[in-house]
Amino acid sequence: MSNHLVIAPIVTPLLVAALQLLVGEKRRRAVLALSIASCVVLVLLAAALMQAVSADGALATVYRIGDWPARFGIVLVADRLSALMVLLTGVLALAVLPYALSRWQHRGGHFQPLLQFLLMGLNGAFLTGDLFNLFVFFEVLLAASYGLALHGSGVRRVSAGLHYIAVNLTASMLFLLGVSLIFGVTGTLNMAALAELIPHVPERTRALLHAGAAILGVAFLIKTAMWPLGFWLPRTYAAASPAVAAMFALMTKVGIYVLLRLGLLLFGDGAGPASAHFGSDWMLWGGVATVAAGTVGMLGARDLAKLAGYNVLISSGTLLGAIGLQQPAVTVGALAYLVISTLAIAAFFLLAGLLASDGDDDTDDTLSLEPYEQPGETAANESLYAQEDESRVVISAPIAMLGASFLACALLLAGLPPLSGFLAKFAMLAPMLEAGERPGALVLFTLVIVAGFGTVIAMCRAGMQIFWVEPERLFPTVRLSETVSILALLGLCLLLTVVVEAPLRYLRDTARQIHTPAAYIRQVLPAAEAPP
């Protein structure tokens, strides 16, 4: 019975989304209550899942759909890594939800059901143990993300969404090609069975297998936005409404998750001399290039949401490079960095939306970092600001809150002490120095430091422009629900600065587990099921 826990994070948002569609958009309160309930339940489920997989002796929980043995049917597998990602999804959704309530959800239809479908796809992608099933869940989450990216409509959003959808449809085709090539060579799509078969693939078809894996990898690298496959990202994320962009901060991490999982499961040390560490150099150097491109882009960014978008690129690139090294100690730090950077970037997207807001719910806002007096400025806006000037106090509470949050975001993203961004970066970078035999390790180390420095410069410049040079641009009312979201996300990062021991132990166990996949394979494919 407790086994059904594994499928619950997928079924819950599906049922809730269906219910919300039945209830209808008119009954806002009911839809809202359903959404909140679903997110709370998801967090609880993820916590229970984490408890279950981190108990002594438990490695992973396997759920066989339709009770078919893993070699024939589709399985869902929850191990430490999956449970961590599901928890991160739930927490992020719960934290972003209040922000969406205030005004964003009314900008277009069906925001809440789409969000639930996105959660379903994300959880499914994290929990599945089958490559084709992974494709299906990817499509579920992408279809929902298309809807969310376009949420609120407007020329900028539709044009960015058009590029986003075209790129992702092409990536899906590559995904299918890769999956079918791998199936053609090995005859199975179960990840554990694949890991078992890869050392025994005959030499003459190994090239085909590698081609399949490479094509599959490109599909994930597009979603991770590796340079030069990531040009769609900053524009799409900047155009999406802030609550959506905050959720999207997690979507690049889905690609990272799959690359981490498949890279170590299929092409780890156990894959035989011909296939071991296949593609890890590509990930490492691709990560290096992505960090460099992200830093340059960030220094040149002309509006705040784009700046946040380039932060996503830097975070993706750092993670790609770190998992490309395939060192357990680096992976521990990379997982910590993944969690912290996702939360911090989500908070930054929300904050950017708030700073750009001019208090008018019906227009789209972008906060340009150019000097304020622009020819495009309307007279109506100017009169609005003129009115504010009369009643403005020197530093009002909302502006103090915005400023403090901005500072916290900057510290977290740049990885400066004393916040957890520093701890995560340190945990990732320190072991990199010891992994000296890979020349790329030092390059990545240097570049991540440089990127941190670039983040400081870009954030300082943006902060000065916003808070010091032209503070009258800020609309000095902030709604409670929006504050709650941002403070919750930043509070979580702060909490992870103080409470370090238990999470780090969990991450260490996680890294050990994914670096020794033999136990995972045994768990998914018990010996009793071996074919005769």
- Minimum CB distance to another protein smaller for 169 or for 449: 169
What's 375's DSSP letter? T
Residue 68 CB contacts under 8 Å (≥ 6 apart), including other chains: 74
33 binds another protein (CB under 8 A): no
* Shortest separation between residue 147's beta carbon and another protein, angstroms: 8
Does position 411 bind another protein by CB under 8 A?
no
- CB of 264 vs another protein, minimal distance in Å: 25
- Single out the residue of 171, 190, 183, 191 nearest to residue 208, CA to CA: 183
Per residue in 198-232, is it b (16+ CB within 10 Å) or e — as a string?
A: beebeeeebeebbebbbbbbbbbbbbbbbbebbeb
Give the residue with the Cβ less far from another protein, 12 or 133: 133
Which residue, 145 or 224, is less far from another protein as judged by CB?
A: 145
Among 405, 484, 489, 406, smallest CA distance to 92 is for 489
Q: What share of the chain is helix, strand, coil (3-state, %, to 5)?
A: 75, 5, 20
Rule CB under 8 A: say whether 150 interacts with another protein.
yes
Decide if residue 366 touches another protein (CB under 8 A): no
Among residues 13, 98, 161, 268, the one that binds another protein under rule CB under 8 A = 161
Integer Cα distance of 383 and 66 in angstroms? 65
Burial of 484 (0-12, 13-18, 19+ CB in 10 A): middle
The residue from 7, 180, 392, 484 that contacts another protein (CB under 8 A) is: 180
> Which range touches another protein (CB under 8 A), out of 85-93, 170-178, 396-404, 419-427?
170-178
For 312, the enclosing helix (H) or strand (E) is helix 304-325
Q: Which of 16, 84, 179, 222 forms a contact with another protein (CB under 8 A)?
A: 179
User: Could you tell me the smallest distance in angstroms from the CB atom of residue 92 to another protein?
Assistant: 25
Query: Please, what is the minimum distance in Å from the beta carbon of residue 146 to another protein?
Result: 6
Q: Compare residues 57 and 532 and give the one whose CB is closer to another protein.
A: 532
Closer to another protein at the Cβ: 161 or 268?
A: 161
User: Looking at the chain, how many residues does it have?
Assistant: 532
The dihedral formed by the CA atoms of 88, 94, 99 and 104, expressed in degrees to the nearest 10: 90
Q: How far is the CB of 212 from another protein (least distance, A)?
A: 10
Closest distance to another protein from the beta carbon of 151 (Å): 13
User: Out of 41, 177, 416, 443, which residue is the one contacting another protein (CB under 8 A)?
Assistant: 177
- The residue from 44, 158, 386, 464 that contacts another protein (CB under 8 A) is 158
Among residues 184, 228, 300, 526, the one that binds another protein under rule CB under 8 A = 184
Q: Which residues of 161-190 are buried (b: 16+ CB within 10 A; e: fewer)?
A: beebbebbeebbebbebbbbbbeebbebbb
Of the residues 30, 166, 207, 518, which one makes contact with another protein according to CB under 8 A: 166
Does 173 interact with another protein (rule: CB under 8 A)? yes
Q: What is the 3-state secondary structure (H, E, C) of 459-509?
A: HHHHHHHHHHHCHHHCCCCCCHHHHHHHHHHHHHHHHHHHCCHHHHHHHHH
If one asks whether residue 18 binds another protein (CB under 8 A), the answer comes out as no
Strand partners, 77: 62
Residue closest to 160 by CA, chosen among 145, 144, 141, 180: 145
Alpha-carbon gap, residue 340 to 333, rounded angstroms: 11
Residues 429-488 close enough to bind another protein by CB under 8 A = none
CB-nearer residue toward another protein: 76 or 459: 76
Cα(366)–Cα(378) distance, rounded to whole angstroms?
14
Nearest distance, CB of residue 135 and another protein, angstroms: 8
Q: Is residue 155 at the binding interface for another protein, with CB under 8 A as the rule?
A: yes
CA separation for the pair 169, 146 (Å, rounded): 11
169 contributes a contact to another protein by CB under 8 A: yes
CB of 132 to another protein, least distance (A): 6
- Residue among 153 and 477 whose Cβ is closer to another protein: 153
Q: Please choose, from the candidates 461, 245, 225, 487, the residue with its C-alpha nearest in 3D space to the C-alpha of residue 352.
A: 245
Q: Is the CB of 217 or the CB of 333 nearer to another protein?
A: 217
Residues 77-136 that bind another protein (CB under 8 A): 132, 136
CB of 65 to another protein, least distance (A): 14
Stretch that binds another protein, among 157-165, 219-227, 369-377, 478-486 (CB under 8 A): 157-165
197 lies in the binding site for another protein (CB under 8 A): no
**Does 170 help bind another protein (rule: CB under 8 A)?**
yes
Tell me which residues touch another protein (CB under 8 A). 132, 136, 139, 142-143, 146, 150, 153-155, 158-159, 161-163, 165-166, 169-170, 172-173, 176-177, 179-181, 183-184
